[in-house]
Structure formats: structure tokens, C-alpha cells
Structure 1
Amino acid sequence: MTTDQLTTTITDLYRSLGDRPAFDARLHPDVTIWESDADELLSGLAALDDLRDRRATRASGPAPVAVAPEQLRAEAWGDTGLVRYVLRARYAVDRPDECFRVTDVLRREGTTWRIVHHHAEAVR
């Protein structure tokens, strides 16, 4: 079922977090990205790498012990898919979870789904 393929793509994406090549394999090279900590629309993997590097230099405290999507809802229309979910980052120490509302638009290329647009908003 196509919606299962979409949710598997998103779940596998976050399972590969920390392995940039594996993570990026699920992203279209021209992906556009809205993130709560980016002032402008990011375009392409180079812009994403720049954001990742900026995040690494300003990181404070421990990294999350787990990052996983929850409440996934997926739909597909031909070769276009849409997945909405809550992304939860859990920490081992006395730090509350961080949650983000996420919408990903995916395009099927052969048998593979790749994210062409990612929109994440921090839930405060």
C-alpha cells in the first residue's frame, strides 16, 4: 500500500539520523525546507548542510537519545505523497522532550519515495 511506503520512508529517515548519506538518500537533491530556526526557505542539500553545521556550533547540552515520528498521517495522489506527523526528540537527562509539527511532500521516483519539501515547526 502506498501510504505504508510513505510512512516507512519517514520512519527510516529518522532511524538513519546521524548518518548523513543514509538520511540524505531519502531527500531530493533540490529539496526545499522550512525550519523554525532558519530565517529563510532553504533550497537544496548544500543549504541543509549549512544549517546542520550552524546547529552543531551552537548546540548546548546533550544530544537527544531518540528522535522519532509519531501520529503519522499519509496520503498519496499518483506519484505525489504527503505525510504529516509530530517529531519527538527525547533526552536522557532532566530535559523536556522537544516536539515539532512536520509536513513532508514526497515524490515517487521509480519505486523510491523522496522528500521534495519539508516543513517543520517547533511546538512551544
Structure 2
Amino acid sequence: MTVDDLTAAITDMYRSLGDRAAFDARLHPDLTIWESDSPELLSGLPALDDLRDRRAAARGPAEAPTSVAPEGFRAESWDDTGLVRYVLRARYATGRPDDCFRVTDVLRRDGRDWRIVHHHAEALR
């Protein structure tokens, strides 16, 4: 496995955004998560689902981004551990300015696939 496999895993995950099962297939069930809009460290997929549901309730469907894509990858791996840093950009059809996040993901190889075990995203203002 190469660093290209790591960046492909992240890119594929964001391509499946909107299909929660496909997106979550790239996440370890016990992952930990730091997010700008959550004051505490989240642990596990149920905590992520709760954050997703709160976000959806706070915004209307018209405010949903038209695309979300990672860019500017820097990645490296050691055996079954990978580290990927990138900017995540959300674009909107309404003319609203893009949302950008500085992201670091730690991945572990699970069989043949890479799965995120820790995700840290910070909103850029």
C-alpha cells in the first residue's frame, strides 16, 4: 500500500457523502473525532451520528453544500498506519462563500482497506 492508497481512500469517502453507510465504511467504529463545532472529543460512530443529526436540524436543506471535496493532500504511511492532512472545501449553489476546514486523519489498515481511527477538523475563518 502506498500514500496514493491513503489519498484515494479519503477522496472515495467524500465522493460517497450523502450515503451514510458507504461513507462510514471508511471509518473505524471506535474512531475519535475533534470537530470545530463540538466542544468535546467525540468517540465512536453513534457520537458522530448525533453530531450529524444536530447539524442537519440546525440548517435547512437549501443550505446544504453542493459539493464537499478534499484538496492539497500531504500523506505518509508506516506499515499499517497512515497520516493524511488536507483542506476540505464545501461549496454552495446559493453564492454563500465556501467553508474550508484544515483536516488531519489517522488511518489504520484493516485487512486491505484503510479506515480512519482519528479525525481532527478545524474550521478556517
Determine the structure 2 residue equivalent to 1:28. 28
Q: Once the two structures are superposed, what CA deviation does each residue of 1:8-66 show, in whole Å capped at 9, x if it has no partner? A: 00000100001000000000000000000001000000000000011111114521111
Task: Structure 1 unaligned segments of length 5 or more: list them.
Answer: none
Q: Distance in 2 between matches of 1:62 and 1:29?
A: 29
**Residue ranges of structure 2 left out of the alignment (5+ in a row):** none
Q: How many residues align?
A: 124
Give the match for residue 117 of structure 1: 118
Between the aligned partners of 1:94 and 1:17, the Cα distance in structure 2 is 21
Work out the CA distance in 1 between the residues paired with 2:10 and 2:70. 8
Percent identity of equivalent pairs: 77
Runs of 4+ in 1 over 3 A off after TM superposition: none
Q: What is the alpha-carbon distance in structure 1 between the residues aligned to residue 11 and residue 107 of structure 2?
A: 14
Cα distance in 1 for partners of 2:9, 2:113 equals 9
Name the residue aligned to 1:49. Answer: 49
- Report the TM-score when normalising by structure 2: 0.96
Q: Deviations over 1:66-123 (max 9, x none)?
A: 1000001110001000000000001112210000000000000111100000000000
Compute the TM-score of the two structures, normalised by the length of structure 1: 0.97
Paired position in structure 2 for 1:72: 73
Aligned-partner residue type, residue 102 of structure 1: V
